[in-house]
Amino acid sequence: MDVAFIDCHCHISALEFVEDLDDVIKRTKEANVKALVAVTEYASDFERVIQLSKNYPDLVLPCFGIHPVQGTGQDRRSANIQDLEPVLPLFQKYRNDIIAVGEIGLDFTPWCAPTVQEREEQLMIFRRQLEVSKELALPVNVHSRSAAKVTIGTMKELGIRDALLHNFAGKPSVALEAVRAGYCLSFPPVISTNQQRVKLIRQIPLENICLETDCPALGPEKNVRNEPKNITLSCEHIARVKGIPSEMVADVTTQNALRLFPKLKRILKP
């Protein structure tokens, strides 16, 4: 397929890519992926994603954000304000480099945020980063799990106009609320094996859909590292669900991404 793709949400700075990143980037370009919107989760990701954008200036575009879930493995926990405060100056320092604020959002799954206090602190961190996005006139790249209505409601309340709800898995009625607010929703390759998303994807207008991989997670095979090259699987699945050519999905989603993330135009023309 001779079309261009934009991976609107990936973790190319993840440790899973350290040993063979050049090979991953080579396969990315061979798949005609023209841009990687590289989000962060932890404070430790910020400088690394900036460095990657310098190493691969024609491909990697960095975002800054503190994810609502911090830690790894058994140490995973709900985010607290101390996770955000030390890195707030970096948003200003690199305001000309970053193309969005993300990955930010809310995760109210019981194992992650079982108490009202934890949910309230997540909400405080989310609101603070939304305010940063407004100060810097940047779009937001958003995580929402078991919290879709609160996430969308908070963004609307704060007047957020440009947002990507990544790997959206909420109800179609809630998704349409996001559509009415002018937000985009994106879907990773794992949807090609998930029939529960079919109804959701069918109801969302193509003009509100972007493509993502969320790599190294959410690939087509469980427990196998996902890569940006797999974005073609998302495209093909959405095309099948909507009964339209995959070339149309690729073209429209790329235009959607360029509209949502204007700084993409540094490396890819409309």
Q: Binding site residues, as ranges?
A: 9, 11, 103, 143, 166, 214
| Residue pointed to by tokens 């699987």 | 233
pLDDT on residue 1: 47
The whole domain housing 67 covers 5-266
Beta strands of 93-147 (E only): which ranges?
A: 100-107, 140-145
Q: What is the pTM of this model?
A: 0.96
Give the integer Cα–Cα distance in Å for 211 and 187: 6
Give the residue ranges of DSSP H helices in 141-245: 148-157, 172-180, 198-203, 231-242
- List, in order, residues 6 or more apart from 175 with CB less than 8 Å away: 148, 168, 185, 200, 203, 204
Tens digits of residue pLDDT in 182-204: 999 999 999 988 777 899 999 99
Q: Binding site residues for a divalent metal cation, as ranges?
A: 9, 11, 103, 143, 166, 214
Mean pLDDT of the chain: 96
Contact present, 266 and 98 (Cβ < 8 Å): no
Tens digits of residue pLDDT in 125-176: 999 999 999 999 999 999 999 999 999 999 999 999 999 999 999 899 999 9
Tens digits of residue pLDDT in 47-59: 999 999 999 999 9
Tens digits of residue pLDDT in 80-108: 999 999 999 999 999 999 999 999 999 99
Q: The domain spanning residue 215 has which CATH number? A: 3.20.20.140
Angle of the 231-242 helix axis to the 246-260 helix axis, nearest 10: 110
Q: What percent of the chain has pLDDT over 90?
A: 91
For the record, the structure tokens of 205 come out as 């207008």
**Total domains in the fold of the chain:** 1
